[in-house]
Chain A
Amino acid sequence: MRDDREPERRPGRRGVLLMGAGTLGSLGLAACSGSGGGGDAGAAGDPRKGRITVWSWQGPAAELKALVPEFNKTYPDIQVTVEDIGNPAIWDKITAGMAAGGRGLADVLHIGVDYLPGYVERFPGGLADLAPLGATTHKDAFAPGLWGTVSPDGKRVNALPWEANSAGFYYRADLFERAGVDVEALQTWDETIEAGKKLKAKTGAYLLGIDKPASQPDAANFFQMLLQLQGAFYFDLEGRITLDSPAAVRAMTLIKTMNDAGLVSDLAGGWNALMSSLKRGTAAVLPWPTWFGGVIEEQVPAEAGKWKVRLPPAVRRGGPTAATVNSTHLAIAGSSKHRAAAWSFVEFALTRPASQVRIYRGKGIAPALMKAYDDAAFHQPSAFFSGQRKGETFLAALKAPSPAVNYTSDYARALKLVTDAQSKVLLKGADPAKVLRAAADDLARQTGRKAAR
């Protein structure tokens, strides 16, 4: 090892002082830039004037962009820039902005139900309280249960609901017909698995697809849907871990049964793989929520009339077939200097039925705003879905009682452990009860939460 000390060049006392002062000065500088921003940026600004930026992703971003000219007819002095950040990139970008005390964040943020509690809990003040801006007046305008998501304590309003997605069951009617299966008559997932075997034997098509190695976190969407159809989730309402509840084991066992019977195609690679599989017709069922209908129409327009949609079969005979599996929201950054102008845009986009109808017609994004459903758009027969009234199917689900879901601030950790457990089951044939118990133990260790057993 070399010795780096060179005694004859040691700085004099004054030099050291100078250096120290310099270091202190820059530390102070850095500290200043670290604080500030924060939760309160003073006045909310002018509700009719300002320049605001909106962050969203893909389809929803395009729809918000398309809404701006109409918005500007009412609010000519608010300049709106909608940026498509992409999903999941948007979550990292919001996190980084929040961690920097709101620096660089957009004014309006599109946030999913899976991330909202995390941001609220980890970054208090990161999202503006919408109650003083007038959000509470819209309390009863949204689908039942959603107000609890955006305003857990009933006072502070963290965001306003936009999309409300119910569990769906999109299927290729032509394939099932060839297999001689009456899909509308399927009451449980056990029956569906038997139907899937017939389907595979007659047509060669898989029942459904799962991203088995979990290249994307949403690989667990199907598992999560099966859980929610039983009124269960990863956490109970007290925040205790329920990853290895009987309902969870039941859901994972169903998935294992399907996989062992060779009914599950591998969607390794995430979204792109899903799209290719859709175009190739690899699987006959897409157990995706409301918003996915628009994606199918867009991706395979030539298959109009071959597709149908229904609510998913129950997990247990006679059990519920409706579940609100996710919602997304628009929030306003606490650091925004144009909170009032941002609120004008959020209110225009989310509480005005005409805006939501327009968005639904564009991309099939289902609103949480109940009044929007009065529009004919939700009650017309859909040519693509074989003349079915798709909008009414999901509206019925939205009106059905859906138990409250507690995502907690540790949802991302739980989801990761669940996708890993699912990969073990699907790729290595692991025992569902065992891997879920191990996942619950890991989650308890990582978060300090208790497992409810």
Chain B
Amino acid sequence: MTLAPPAPAPARTKAPAARPRRRGRAAPYLFVLPALLLFAAFKLYPIGWSFVMSLHRTVAGVDTYVGADNYTRMLDDPLMWTALRNTGVILAVQVPLMLALATALAVALNSTLLRGRSLFRLGFFLPMVTGLVAYGIVFSVLLNKDYGLVNWLLGQLGIDPVPWLTDGLWARISLGLALTWHYTGYNAVLLLARLQTIPHELYDAASVDGAGAFAAFRHVTLPGLRPALLLTTVLSTIGTLQLFDEPYVLTGGGPDNATLTIGVYLYRNAFTYFDFGYASALAYALTVLIGLLGLLQFRLLGEKP
């Protein structure tokens, strides 16, 4: 048997498999096309069109190009600053309180000492599935100064009725309470999911090193929760900046604009004053603000390289 001499390497340089067929390359795009079309029609188009609108002002039914007028008008609009300040207060006070509460709740719900954990988890998450407007109305009934259940209960304890929704400061507190009730459970569940991925060995090691419960929480739980904390912080920030339903239903932004948010102000400009140009400009300013704050939070809380 002689071995055939090795065949010379083919001289052809064209290899059929080296280059995918054109039809194959187009396929993925065909698959994403329907989603893309829907996105373009229902998201991209309104987003783009609202930018065009933000450069116009309607005078006697005619859209007039006014350049950046709607944007410069914002700087000189005291109500816009009131709305921004109100949103800032909620962001600075309610969001940290709620996230602290959610973290405590997540740790408690994760504890093996707690019986019926799934029942509690469900209970705390349930407010999240309640319709925004429905719970807004329930709160406004509960918190009514003269006929509300809360003031009736306080009355039984000999406490004077609290102007929950009719005094500027109390209206802000009520709004904060409603938001906390609605979103704490949701954030707790997000944090809980992360909590369950922290390896138990870390706690064992910490206790061997002599760490107490608080030290273990500080040096093991919190660093472990970091990505989830970032997520909940960013989500809550976006949610707060876009806040609309609760103040709209609870207080209508009042009294005297004490609970006016950018969302409510934007809505009012568009649908009560028919000033779609200014409302669009407000929406764009809001988007930029959310982007900047999100970026800042990623920088501060994100993984260090």
Contacts of A53 in B (CB 8 A): none
In this complex, how many residues of chain B approach chain A with their Cβ under 8 Å: the count is 45
B227 at the interface (CB under 8 A from A): no
Interface string of B248-291 (1 = CB under 8 A from A): 00011011110000000000100111101000000000000000
Most A CB contacts (10 A, CB to CB) among B144, B166, B254, B255 go to: B255
- The chain A residue with its CB closest to the CB of B260 is A420
Contact status A427-B33, CB under 8 Å: no
Contact status A214-B272, CB under 8 Å: no
In this complex, how many residues of chain A approach chain B with their Cβ under 8 Å: the count is 48
A107 at the interface (CB under 8 A from B): no
Q: A213-B255, A268-B165, A420-B256 are in contact. Are A96 and B271 (CB under 8 A)?
A: yes
A416 at the interface (CB under 8 A from B): yes
B147 at the interface (CB under 8 A from A): yes
Most A CB contacts (10 A, CB to CB) among B30, B37, B273 go to: B273
Contact status B41-A26, CB under 8 Å: yes
User: Dominant SS at the A interface?
Assistant: helix
Contact status A15-B78, CB under 8 Å: no
- The chain B residue with its CB closest to the CB of A415 is B272
Contact status A122-B146, CB under 8 Å: no
A266 at the interface (CB under 8 A from B): yes
CB distance from A327 to the nearest CB of B (A): 20
Q: A19-B29, A30-B41, A445-B76 are in contact. Are A423 and B167 (CB under 8 A)?
A: no
Contact status A427-B271, CB under 8 Å: no
Contacts of B257 in A (CB 8 A): 420
Contact status A427-B255, CB under 8 Å: yes
Contact status B276-A99, CB under 8 Å: yes
Interface string of A76-99 (1 = CB under 8 A from B): 000000000000000110011001
Contacts of B242 in A (CB 8 A): none
Interface string of A210-254 (1 = CB under 8 A from B): 001111100000000000000000000000000000000000000
Interface residues of B in 17-53 (CB under 8 A from A): 22, 25-26, 29-30, 33, 36-38, 40-42, 44-45, 49
B209 at the interface (CB under 8 A from A): no
Contact status A14-B26, CB under 8 Å: yes
Contacts of A95 in B (CB 8 A): 271-272, 274
In angstroms, Cα B147 to Cα A413, docked, is: 31
B297 at the interface (CB under 8 A from A): no
Residue from A122, A273, A416 within 8 A of B268 (CB atoms):
A416
Contact status A15-B25, CB under 8 Å: yes
Contacts of B146 in A (CB 8 A): 268-269, 273, 276
CB distance from B269 to the nearest CB of A (A): 9
Contact status B274-A213, CB under 8 Å: no
A389 at the interface (CB under 8 A from B): no
B5 at the interface (CB under 8 A from A): no
Contacts of B33 in A (CB 8 A): 18-19, 22
Contacts of A215 in B (CB 8 A): 165-166, 251-252, 254-255
Residue from A18, A268, A416, A442 within 8 A of B26 (CB atoms):
A18
B61 at the interface (CB under 8 A from A): yes
Contacts of B79 in A (CB 8 A): 442
Contact status B58-A122, CB under 8 Å: yes
A45 at the interface (CB under 8 A from B): no
Interface string of A398-428 (1 = CB under 8 A from B): 0000000000011011001000100110010
Contact status A424-B165, CB under 8 Å: no
Contacts of B76 in A (CB 8 A): 445
In angstroms, Cα B271 to Cα A118, docked, is: 11
In angstroms, Cα B154 to Cα A308, docked, is: 38
CB distance from B65 to the nearest CB of A (A): 16
Contacts of A122 in B (CB 8 A): 58, 61, 274
Most B CB contacts (10 A, CB to CB) among A23, A26, A34, A213 go to: A213
In angstroms, Cα B60 to Cα A266, docked, is: 39
CB distance from A9 to the nearest CB of B (A): 8
Contacts of B272 in A (CB 8 A): 91-92, 95, 412, 416
B145 at the interface (CB under 8 A from A): yes
CB distance from B150 to the nearest CB of A (A): 14
Interface string of B70-97 (1 = CB under 8 A from A): 0000001111000000000000000000
B298 at the interface (CB under 8 A from A): yes
Interface string of A99-141 (1 = CB under 8 A from B): 1000000000000000000100111100000000000000000
B interface residues, Cβ below 8 angstroms from A? 22, 25-26, 29-30, 33, 36-38, 40-42, 44-45, 49, 58, 60-61, 76-79, 140, 144-147, 163, 165-167, 171, 251-252, 254-257, 268, 271-274, 276, 298
A-B pairs, 7 with minimum CB distance: A213-B255, A124-B61, A213-B166, A268-B166, A122-B274, A26-B41, A26-B40
Name 11 A/B residue pairs within 8 A (Cβ), A-sorted.
A15-B29, A22-B40, A26-B37, A27-B41, A27-B44, A91-B272, A95-B272, A124-B61, A213-B256, A268-B146, A427-B167
Given contacts A27-B41, A420-B257, 12 further A-B contacts (CB under 8 A): A1-B298, A15-B26, A19-B33, A22-B33, A23-B44, A27-B44, A122-B58, A213-B171, A266-B166, A269-B144, A423-B254, A424-B256
